[in-house]
Structure 1
Amino acid sequence: MASPALSNVIDPSKLNAFMGRAVQDMGAALHAALVIVGDKLGLYKAMAGAGPLTSAELATKAHTDERYTREWLNANAASGYLTYDPATKTYLLPPEQAFALAQEDSPAFIPGAFQIIGALMRDEPKITEAFRTSKGVGWHEHDPQMFEGTERFFRPNYAANLMSSWLPSLTGVVAKLEKGGRVADVGCGHGSSTILMAKAYPNSKFFGFDYHPASIEWARNAAQKEGVAERITFEVASAKQFPGKNYDLVAFFDCLHDMGDPVGASAHVLSTLASEGSWMIVEPYANDKVEDNLNPIGRVFYSASTMICTPASRSQEVGLALGAQAGETRMREVVMSGGFSQFRRASETPFNLVYEARA
């Protein structure tokens, strides 16, 4: 119960406005679980392009229970993910929502993000304890759905931007890869970025490194399925110890800020590059000042950083804990401290900043 002093200073209109926002967040948080259910059961895919459906018709198509399906449909309609026609009691998945929820190769495909959210809810006790102890929580300690969700969420963004704008923004890199270059993809996870590059540049040789053995095993299997295993070598290795020399390109996708010793990683990258090689660093979009990141995108990134990025860094040596919203100035300091003499913003999207570092 609020103290009398606190009650006297509360503005009822501001309280009501905040409670309205909180109710929106409650609905969003609860609905996240339903997106995962719909993704796993193929409900969105069954609705995509099918026109208006009754709950019974969808249940038949998806081989699910009608009553559960009807409640799921109503929740999705209330959330604006579907539309409902009361006259016919049918539900429709609009093409825009289908593009984001049912088409795996869409640049807007989002169910992977909800897998991440589900994993983080299961991981909450570990993060809460880390607040108390100041210890870290390593990437490998997360719920397994974190790894699959991360790959599914990031892959469409890489497919949409990597070959079309990010690599062309680097100094002479595309020409080298077309001719036949050497590429190290560090922190490669399930290997989607490595595989995309290998498919685009068949004359080049690719090396994917990650400290997480289960992710490397997944990446090897994925490369076999995509028919590029002969041109990719996946190995378990850390960012400060990955092997090889004379790389024309070293790529770090959304991982430098997660590292305990990003300066040490920078120094190691420098030692592995060819004389005219480039280091591509893809990071979450962030401004330098906290106040400039207090927006919907910053909200997502700060929240993810609290649960994933900061604990990951704290679990490693040094534990610099840059966080996902470090900003360009801080990233420049880290890279230059590793011995690089050139650093620039090469490209950007609403969600990413792409930097190029050269010796």
Structure 2
Amino acid sequence: MNVAIDQTEDFDQTKAENFAERLGEMLNTGATVVMISLGHKLKIFDHLADMPPSGSEQIAEKTGLSERYIREWLAVMVVSGIVAYNPEDKTYYLCAEYAACLTTDAELGNMAVFAQHTSLLGQMEESMIRCFKTGEGTSYGDYPCFHQIMAEDSGQTVVAGLFEHILPLVPGIQARLEQGIDVLDAGCGRGAALLAMAEHYPNSRFVGYDLCADAIDFANAQVKERKLTNIRFEQRDLTGYMEAERWDFITSFDAVHDQKDPQDLIDGLKMSLKSGGTYLMQDIGGSAKLENNLDFPFSALLYAVSCAHCTPVSIGQGGKGLGTMWGWETAETMLLRAGFRSVEHHRLEHDPMNVWFVSQV
């Protein structure tokens, strides 16, 4: 039976109209973000940043892409206020200030990298409908280009600040790495951070474990290309992992929250550290409490990625599905429960999204 909604004087017409306007802005922005992802993948922003005001034909020639599609893409960028347009000579221009957020090695970080997550969410819609209806999960292989996106993300959030900001969080670790120690990256993905350390510290020995064969294949190809002899990567399910007192230093970068059993993994990693060893864990720095995340950077995007990826990937492994926003409090509790002698968490001034835990055996 249909029940009519009683629209009394309590109904705020202005509030409804303002919300409708806001929804319209969201639709516009969502479409723009997908086009930003496309521009990133095709390197259009990089080419525009190096060009003076130019016509669509010149831009197409510079990028090696179809002029008709370039012109339509440029129209999105113009009406979104990203690319300037001169109607008199029909030229387009990307100013340096905007390029500083949209290009490779951008001064303020390449925000277009994160736009790829929005594009990926759309591709996963049918899969998510199935998950909502059945309560089932997914696997890493269901996500096209996932490891490529995460490697780009890691390049900005981890590798770029690894030696200047991140490793200094661990007292004395850089000197020990220079002397030579055994290092594990648990959940290494394509291994960008570990490869950087292996090149920087030739006296140390590095191993990366990850569940996904495609990521490991990519990482091992990089080892050969860079001719490194102090590092190897291995496909490995870390469920129930423990190699007693093998490692001096273990890292995990944005990898723990979507594991089948994060507590079990942390317990095993702790037992795998030698006496005096350290576990450095990076994860999303949001709170376990929804009300604390209302102003957290990119909170809506992070919850959406959690809904479409991190939660179902964990459930697909038989896990609890803690999700991307499992909360720094949850992570800290698990580290303390594992029995580390000390657990400290840090936030970096230039990186408001992540939290860094330094746990000592």
TM-score by length of 1: 0.91
- 1:156-212 CA-partner distances (Å, limit 9, x unpaired): 221222221111011321221121111101111111111122222222111111011
- 1:96-117 CA-partner distances (Å, limit 9, x unpaired): 3323322257661233323332
Distance 2:3 2:23 in 1: 18
Contact 2:158 2:166 in 1 (8 A): no
Taking every aligned residue pair, what percent have the same amino acid on both sides?
27
- 1:30-87 CA-partner distances (Å, limit 9, x unpaired): 1233223323333222211212111121122123332322221121122222122334
Higher helix residue share: 1
Match of 1:291, SS state, is helix
Q: Structure 1 pair 190/244, CA: closer, same or farther in 2 (3 Å)?
A: farther
Distance 1:264 1:213 in 2: 22
Contact 1:76 1:82 in 2 (8 A): yes
> Which amino acid counterpart does residue 146 of structure 2 have in structure 1?
M
Which residue does 2:322 correspond to in 1? 322
Q: Structure 1 pair 127/173, CA: closer, same or farther in 2 (3 Å)?
A: same
Once the two structures are TM-superposed, the CA of residue 248 in structure 1 deviates from its matched residue by: 1.6
Which residue does 2:284 correspond to in 1? 284
Which residue does 1:247 correspond to in 2? 247
The answer on 1:237 being equivalent to 2:239 is no
The answer on 1:5 being equivalent to 2:3 is no
- Mapping of residues 172-251 of structure 1, within 5 Å: 172-228=172-228, 230-239=229-238, 240-241=240-241, 245-251=245-251
Q: Structure 1 pair 27/223, CA: closer, same or farther in 2 (3 Å)?
A: farther
Gaps of 5+ in 1: none
Runs of at least 4 residues off by over 4 Å: 6-9, 104-107, 242-245
Once the two structures are TM-superposed, the CA of residue 135 in structure 1 deviates from its matched residue by: 1.8
Gaps of 5+ in 2: none
Which residue does 1:76 correspond to in 2? 77
- Mapping of residues 92-131 of structure 1, within 5 Å: 92-104=93-105, 108-131=109-132
Distance 1:96 1:154 in 2: 23
Distance 1:58 1:149 in 2: 26
Q: Which moved more, 1:107-116 or 1:251-260?
A: 107-116
The number of equivalent residue pairs is 356
Distance 1:298 1:305 in 2: 10
Contact 1:287 1:328 in 2 (8 A): yes
- Mapping of residues 6-21 of structure 1, within 5 Å: 6=7, 9-21=10-22
Distance 1:242 1:218 in 2: 25
TM-score by length of 2: 0.91
> Which amino acid counterpart does residue 290 of structure 2 have in structure 1?
V
Q: Structure 1 pair 58/358, CA: closer, same or farther in 2 (3 Å)?
A: same
Distance 2:164 2:4 in 1: 58
Distance 1:254 1:277 in 2: 20
Contact 2:40 2:113 in 1 (8 A): no
Distance 1:107 1:233 in 2: 33
Contact 1:116 1:145 in 2 (8 A): no
